[in-house]
Structure 1
Amino acid sequence: MRLSSPTITPNAAPIRFTFDGQEIEALPGESIAAALSAAGIVAFRHTAKGEPRGLWCGMGACWDCIVTVDGRSGQRACLTKVEADMRVTGAPPVVAAPLADPPAEIAERACDLLVVGAGPAGLSAAIAAAGAGAQVVVLDERADPGGQYLKPLATSHASTAPDAQFRRGAVLFAEARAAGIAIHQGATVWGGFAPDEIAALVGNAAVTFRPKRLVLAPGAHERPVPVPGWTLPGVMTTGALQTLARAQRVSPAERIVIAGSGPLNLQLACELLAGGVQVAAVVEAAPKPGLRAWRDLLALAGASPDLAWDGLHYLSTLRRAGVPVLWGSTILACEGTDRFAALRVATPAGERRIVAGVAALNMGFQPETGLARTLGCAQRFVTDGPGAEIGRLETVTDEEGRTSIPGVFAIGDGAAIGGSRVAFARGRLAGLAAAREIGLAAPQDAAARRDLARALAFQRALWRIFAVPPFDAASIAGATTICRCEEVTAAALREAMADGARSLAALKKATRAGMGRCQGRMCGATVARLAGAPAEEAAFAAPRAPVRPIPAAALMREVPEWGETPVIHAPTPTRWRGPASPLRPEDRRCDVLVVGGGVLGLSTALCLAREGVDVLVADRSEPGLAASTANAGSLHVQLLSYDFGEKAEALGTARPAAATLPLGPRSIALWKEIARDAGESCGIRTEGGLMLAETPEQMEWLRGKTAVERGAGIESHVVGANELRGLAPYLAPRFLGAAFCRAEGQIDPLRGTAALLGLVKRAGGRIAGGVQVTGIARDGSGFAVATESGTIRAGRIVVAAGPWSGQVAALAGVRLPVGGLVQQVIATEPTGPFVPHLVAHAGRHLSFKQGAQGHLLIGGGWPGEHHPATGATRNRRESIEGNLWVAGRVVPAVAGLSVLRAWTGINVHVDRAPILGEAPGCPGLFAAVTSSGFTLGPVAGRMTADAVLGREAVAPAFSIARFG
């Protein structure tokens, strides 16, 4: 329905568009979500599991309202403006239209101050700095400035008597324009690679900003409310419904129920009543303020009498309208089938069922700290204020907004929840401070500091009045969806915990929770509470570029790719930040200790345990959290272009890799046995691999390469252009041919690693996580292995610690020439199946495939960065751009998809052949290290187990002894 008002009227004649073939009337300037809501449509799409979904956050943070617009996939209905004759569907397109034009070059732009976010904090900072003479650029994702608090009336409407909030926004926008600030609306900041390297998409153009100072003011999003039915269409946040009602002048239903906690719910109820909507009830979790709250009520009135009066006015308006305010009441469930129908709540007087067409939920807010975290700004875990019963991360700053990273400021609700007046004051102080830091004459502002003090006092009193009961993760019903994007339930998370996952990182990889479009914004805090994670940033999944989904085409830029790959000769191990892991008594002694719980270590342990050997796997974190689950799951058989030094020129330079060729098919067969024994497919597909050639020289090289492979018993041959087009019609038409290896394919590395871990346990192998090995000494004929958790006495040791194996072996005086390479993987949004093969390129760095969930997985050895102090890895912007350019050149359909995430991991760097067997001069200590470790893990593990058992000596080409 459209809301009524004597002072707000439509601005133009209606237009029409279609949604799933149905003609819809809309007003120019309103969002797709608003137009559909006005028509009473709340279900916008269906998930991969067939569940209906609609609007949730209403501000572009959750990505749950995505639709296809004129063939362009993944468009957010809440942010996309409707246009005449637009074709909107809830289903993804069969063939996606390009989302952007690939750039010939990506522009770089310098400025004095870059502000991310055009809400009260960001605009206040920008105006203050510009007033001191700074050149200021503001980037904001929405179509209009103002953020959530000062969002203007949509251009679909005009008002003859705007209220105080609208007037305040108009004044601020006018000040910003008068100050000469460059404000870019519809601009998405997708990565922070350094304080002076901020990657953004401005319109459809990629730009890298190089500011002297950076101010982060991205605002907050409403916290998740994980109750049964909260994913139903018609259940949305209070902020989403307020945007529809206040800015767009629509409501999806004539009868609304509002629940949660805080004054925003009261304000929305009054705004809906004024527009002609029936409000069934306002459900408030906090107890009704009584005489004991008089001090806080006086503090509210003293600090901000106008806001205190607003609150009393809201309550009075609701009382006169007969709207019940149910204090001290808890949300139990949202009921409905295809859409919301009723809200069940527990009140002090008993359970109650409230029938309505839409439910608006708000239990507080969480700061948008992703960009600050990618830059390394220190965070704190907070458990007070609105939404804090579930916990949240906030950015640590001083009063003027300075973070722990020089040159970076964080302000407003995007740094710490404080409300609009705190944001105004901190924004001004930060803008002035940033101007002073770059040498401009900017005054101190005592008035802003006084405003800040009053605003903070008001907020503290308000939070005490609206204090709600603690969040009880144990009470969440098992069938409740926790991760909206990947449809992961509480039961699935608890099952993973029961299977041994103890950290958020392990739960994410075991269940995919947090891997969707919103990147954990809507589930991270809940998962942390379910897992009992420590109250610190390290317990939370790290944000990755892009921090928001971004069109792949907009970043496709050719960059040099055959330079020297930076080898890390002694990579720093990342510290385990999970729960303390004291050794169990039974783990203090074993026959064979396997150091490292990746695929190779687990494969070795499985073979040994099945032979009745007493085997213990010790991992410094949790098994499988490093390269085993950071890779893209390729099952390689044929030689790769980067097996040959700098360029794919001389076949003779690939001798170590060529010696490994027979191991690939054997290992893939073992992977299939592992999947069979685990009772699932592990996502294994072996439909063949293609290595493409664009030039006659590359074709000739492929002929020589396949001859080498056939000589090693690998079924591999060259196909011409015509055969290639029939075999792989998804490829660009530029290729002259390809090498085709039928045995190649892929596996889901998360499922494969989990299956292997389960089989080890089933076979009697023991797993000790959180165990860092610090020393290895002889103990009779065996070893005493010192760890931070105690001493382990082992008869024999297998060093299977991947790129850290050299450091572990060195504790025993054994030299292993092992290093590490930081390499990235990129994942797009899911799409329908169309790429069955593993795709590589004879002259480019590329590994390309389509995963079981429909995501395109793009890699190929593009380098990331390693932090030598912490061991953390991160993406390089140039690697993301270059990797996408190669992928788009090979498979044009990439241009129609968005990139969801890109991640890095440290892979093993050796001479391209496994290092296996007993160490000369150190009887009982064995090495198990290999590149292409996920493919070769099972076979290398079997070979290692045979060596440990004395059954079969390791071939000289793979033996430690080859290094002298």
Structure 2
Amino acid sequence: MSAAPKHEQYDVVVIGAGPAGLAATTATARAGLSTLLLDENAGPGGQVWRAIDATPVKNEALLGADYWSGAEIARAARDSGAEIIHRATVWSLDRNLELGVSVGGGSAFIKAKRVIIATGAQERPFPIPGWTLPGVMTAGAAQTMLKSSGLVPDGPTVRAGQGPLLWLLAAQILRLGGRIDRVLDTTPRANYLAALPHAFAFMTSLYFVKGLAMMREVRAKVKVTTGVTELAAGTNRLESVSYVTAGGRRETLPVELLLLHHGVVPNVNLAMAAGVEHRWNELQLCWTPVLDADGNSSLPGIAIAGDGAGIGGAQAALWRGRIAAERAIKALRPTAKVSDLSPQLKRAERGRAFLDILFKPAKQFRIPQGDTIVCRCEEITAKDVLDSVAIGATGPNQLKAYRRTGMGPCQGRLCGLTVTELMAEARGKSPQEIGYYRLRAPVKPIMLSELASLPKSDEATKAVVRG
């Protein structure tokens, strides 16, 4: 592994070492293209295979076969001849395929002939009363601690939300001897009927048997409350979680740890800042990039693979990464032979529509009201946003001037979707019409010293001195 990029230019730069990024890196490097893989984590795997080379959980049965399948993928990328840099922050990407990268306290600009963005997914915001309190975590954060350090909760713990990760994390925690007192399932009951037309495709997919087994495993050990329509974690400290069932009954559970999960959405910040066109996805309720069948974006030379192209799961991400890589190979080596991998991708995506419809989050959990915090960085509430709309704020970018939403360290990752939907509802418009934050470099927080370390020409230095 390199401490900093060895060269100023590469044939292919891949951003993100999850399933898609690892697969793309392996393919382009093996084809003889100079390939650089940049990833912000300490090791390969992304969230799906996090800490695959370093996890202290060595019993393969505890994390499951799907997790350990990542070891071979990571090994293939490492042995491919690609240059791989971890703990690297990619904070800029422009239309000329120049990237700003920070590694080890210093920054540099590098050029690429092709860029494959494989930044994956992030958890959807889950803005309920008390979601910013100490003791409230996302499922993804809890899973990171489990995989990286083998840590599981041992006090009163409640899992709340919906989606496949709800059941996967619960199963993993229980296998490692952790404690879960209750699972509060917020899946709207109407979703089951809506998803029914897609049930056959799901039952014949890769997901069905595994998902059913996980649900049975968890239900055998933990009480599951379904049809939850309201959630609140308190106002000053986390002592309990209150919820309302589909029948209208309100209950309260004592809790020390509340793990929230509302599904995942594409991590779009880098691609948006680069100028890639995005559209509002009504099925997945998020922004997704406009791509062709090969993953090529609206900007020449930039492809997007994996869940950053739209949520599809780890297996689909692998094939998307390979497809994007083969198109890069063909673009740079026109005589190269490439394969048609679309049938494999289609098979990996089978059943996805069922999951998207079944786990479509309810409106009340996406669009908060009153004093519920929307922007965690600036502590802006739903009422603050609506008050700004009432006096003239027309979209997320104008809202920045009113309330500074989206201007904190997360740069909109934890509030962007909520702000868009909240303003869309208030103004009677679609999320597409309301739009998203206008993102600019740097898209990740970096130190001023890192910017100062960038190579400077004599002309630039003289300009500053004269100024």
TM-score, normalized by length of structure 2?
A: 0.90
**Structure 2 unmatched runs, 5+:** none
Corresponding residue to 1:327 among 226, 243, 246 = 226
Counterpart position of 1:343:
241
The answer (yes or no) to whether the contact 1:107–1:208 under 8 Å persists in 2 is no
Pairing 1:300–2:196 present: no
Judged with a 3 Å threshold, the aligned counterparts in structure 2 of structure 1 residues 345 and 365 are, in CA distance, closer, same or farther, namely: same
Counterpart position of 1:438:
332
Matches within 5 A, 1:175-214: 175-214=76-115
C-alpha separation in 1, matches of 2:149 and 2:137: 16
C-alpha separation in 2, matches of 1:287 and 1:226: 17
Counterpart position of 1:458:
351
Q: How far apart are residue 209 of structure 1 and its match?
A: 1.6
Q: Which amino acid aligns with 1:316?
A: R
Higher mean alpha-carbon deviation, 532-541 vs 421-430, is at: 532-541
Counterpart position of 2:175:
274
Counterpart position of 1:596:
none
C-alpha separation in 1, matches of 2:43 and 2:449: 25
Answer with 1 or 2: which has the greater Rg. Answer: 1
Q: How far apart are residue 351 of structure 1 and its match?
A: 1.9
Bigger relative contact order (CA 8 A; separation at least 6): 2
What are the Cα deviations for residues 346-372 of structure 1, in whole angstroms up to 9, with x where unaligned?
212322222221111111222121221
Matches within 5 A, 1:46-85: none
Structure 1 SS opposite 2:349: helix
Q: How far apart are residue 252 of structure 1 and its match?
A: 4.8
Q: How far apart are residue 537 of structure 1 and its match?
A: 7.8
Q: How far apart are residue 460 of structure 1 and its match?
A: 1.0
Q: Which amino acid aligns with 2:201?
A: A
Corresponding residue to 1:235 among 124, 136, 143 = 136
Counterpart position of 1:511:
403
Pairing 1:353–2:237 present: no
Q: Which amino acid aligns with 1:167?
A: W
Counterpart position of 1:550:
446
The answer (yes or no) to whether the contact 2:230–2:245 under 8 Å persists in 1 is no
C-alpha separation in 2, matches of 1:197 and 1:352: 54
Pairing 1:498–2:399 present: no
Counterpart position of 1:130:
29
C-alpha separation in 1, matches of 2:202 and 2:125: 28
Q: Which amino acid aligns with 1:366?
A: V
C-alpha separation in 2, matches of 1:369 and 1:320: 38
Counterpart position of 2:309:
415
Judged with a 3 Å threshold, the aligned counterparts in structure 2 of structure 1 residues 491 and 293 are, in CA distance, closer, same or farther, namely: closer
Q: How far apart are residue 438 of structure 1 and its match?
A: 0.4
Q: How far apart are residue 538 of structure 1 and its match?
A: 7.1
Q: How far apart are residue 332 of structure 1 and its match?
A: 2.2
Q: How far apart are residue 177 of structure 1 and its match?
A: 1.6
What are the Cα deviations for residues 699-722 of structure 1, in whole angstroms up to 9, with x where unaligned?
xxxxxxxxxxxxxxxxxxxxxxxx
Q: How far apart are residue 483 of structure 1 and its match?
A: 0.7
Judged with a 3 Å threshold, the aligned counterparts in structure 2 of structure 1 residues 137 and 302 are, in CA distance, closer, same or farther, namely: same
Q: How far apart are residue 468 of structure 1 and its match?
A: 3.7
C-alpha separation in 2, matches of 1:160 and 1:500: 57
C-alpha separation in 1, matches of 2:33 and 2:241: 51
Which structure shows the bigger proportion of residues in strand conformation? Answer: 1
Q: How far apart are residue 193 of structure 1 and its match?
A: 2.6
Pairing 1:527–2:426 present: no
Pairing 1:373–2:272 present: yes
The answer (yes or no) to whether the contact 1:132–1:440 under 8 Å persists in 2 is no
C-alpha separation in 1, matches of 2:224 and 2:365: 24
What are the Cα deviations for residues 74-112 of structure 1, in whole angstroms up to 9, with x where unaligned?
xxxxxxxxxxxxxxxxxxxxxxxxxxxxx9xx9862111
Structure 1 SS opposite 2:94: strand
The answer (yes or no) to whether the contact 1:133–1:440 under 8 Å persists in 2 is no
C-alpha separation in 2, matches of 1:537 and 1:414: 22
Q: How far apart are residue 315 of structure 1 and its match?
A: 1.6
Corresponding residue to 1:539 among 435, 440, 444 = 435
The answer (yes or no) to whether the contact 1:153–1:248 under 8 Å persists in 2 is no
Judged with a 3 Å threshold, the aligned counterparts in structure 2 of structure 1 residues 235 and 139 are, in CA distance, closer, same or farther, namely: same
Q: How far apart are residue 454 of structure 1 and its match?
A: 1.8
C-alpha separation in 2, matches of 1:491 and 1:282: 30
Higher mean alpha-carbon deviation, 529-538 vs 328-337, is at: 529-538
Q: How far apart are residue 294 of structure 1 and its match?
A: 5.8
Judged with a 3 Å threshold, the aligned counterparts in structure 2 of structure 1 residues 256 and 223 are, in CA distance, closer, same or farther, namely: same
Judged with a 3 Å threshold, the aligned counterparts in structure 2 of structure 1 residues 402 and 293 are, in CA distance, closer, same or farther, namely: closer
Corresponding residue to 1:429 among 323, 341, 347 = 323
Q: How far apart are residue 245 of structure 1 and its match?
A: 1.9
Q: How far apart are residue 156 of structure 1 and its match?
A: 6.4
C-alpha separation in 1, matches of 2:75 and 2:366: 46
C-alpha separation in 2, matches of 1:197 and 1:293: 43
Counterpart position of 2:372:
480
Q: Which amino acid aligns with 2:217?
A: T
Q: Which amino acid aligns with 1:334?
A: A
C-alpha separation in 2, matches of 1:561 and 1:471: 56
Counterpart position of 1:674:
none
Matches within 5 A, 1:236-275: 236-275=137-176
Q: How far apart are residue 134 of structure 1 and its match?
A: 1.4
Percent sequence identity is 34
**Structure 1 unmatched runs, 5+:** 1-102, 564-645, 648-840, 846-964
What are the Cα deviations for residues 639-662 of structure 1, in whole angstroms up to 9, with x where unaligned?
xxxxxxx99xxxxxxxxxxxxxxx
The answer (yes or no) to whether the contact 2:228–2:243 under 8 Å persists in 1 is yes
Pairing 1:317–2:213 present: no
What are the Cα deviations for residues 170-223 of structure 1, in whole angstroms up to 9, with x where unaligned?
100111122111111100001113342111012333221211110001111111
Q: Which amino acid aligns with 1:141?
A: E
Structure 2 SS opposite 1:157: coil
C-alpha separation in 2, matches of 1:437 and 1:144: 30
Pairing 1:400–2:294 present: yes
C-alpha separation in 2, matches of 1:538 and 1:404: 21
C-alpha separation in 1, matches of 2:46 and 2:347: 22
TM-score, normalized by length of structure 1?
A: 0.45
Q: Which amino acid aligns with 1:551?
A: M
Structure 1 runs of 4+ aligned residues shifted over 4 Å read: 287-295, 471-474, 557-563
Counterpart position of 1:152:
51
C-alpha separation in 2, matches of 1:539 and 1:207: 32
Q: How far apart are residue 419 of structure 1 and its match?
A: 1.3
C-alpha separation in 2, matches of 1:325 and 1:236: 19
C-alpha separation in 2, matches of 1:529 and 1:196: 32
The answer (yes or no) to whether the contact 1:228–1:477 under 8 Å persists in 2 is no
Q: Which amino acid aligns with 1:422?
A: A
Q: Which amino acid aligns with 2:13?
A: L
Judged with a 3 Å threshold, the aligned counterparts in structure 2 of structure 1 residues 250 and 527 are, in CA distance, closer, same or farther, namely: same
Judged with a 3 Å threshold, the aligned counterparts in structure 2 of structure 1 residues 454 and 273 are, in CA distance, closer, same or farther, namely: same
C-alpha separation in 1, matches of 2:420 and 2:262: 17
What are the Cα deviations for residues 471-507 of structure 1, in whole angstroms up to 9, with x where unaligned?
5776x33211111111111222222222222222221
The answer (yes or no) to whether the contact 2:396–2:434 under 8 Å persists in 1 is no
C-alpha separation in 2, matches of 1:336 and 1:358: 15
Counterpart position of 1:766:
none
What are the Cα deviations for residues 922-950 of structure 1, in whole angstroms up to 9, with x where unaligned?
xxxxxxxxxxxxxxxxxxxxxxxxxxxxx
Q: Which amino acid aligns with 1:310?
A: K
Q: Which amino acid aligns with 1:221?
A: Q
C-alpha separation in 1, matches of 2:78 and 2:334: 21
Pairing 1:165–2:59 present: no
Judged with a 3 Å threshold, the aligned counterparts in structure 2 of structure 1 residues 140 and 151 are, in CA distance, closer, same or farther, namely: same
Judged with a 3 Å threshold, the aligned counterparts in structure 2 of structure 1 residues 290 and 226 are, in CA distance, closer, same or farther, namely: closer
Counterpart position of 2:10:
111
The answer (yes or no) to whether the contact 2:156–2:256 under 8 Å persists in 1 is yes
Q: Which amino acid aligns with 1:499?
A: I
C-alpha separation in 1, matches of 2:323 and 2:297: 14
Structure 2 SS opposite 1:335: coil
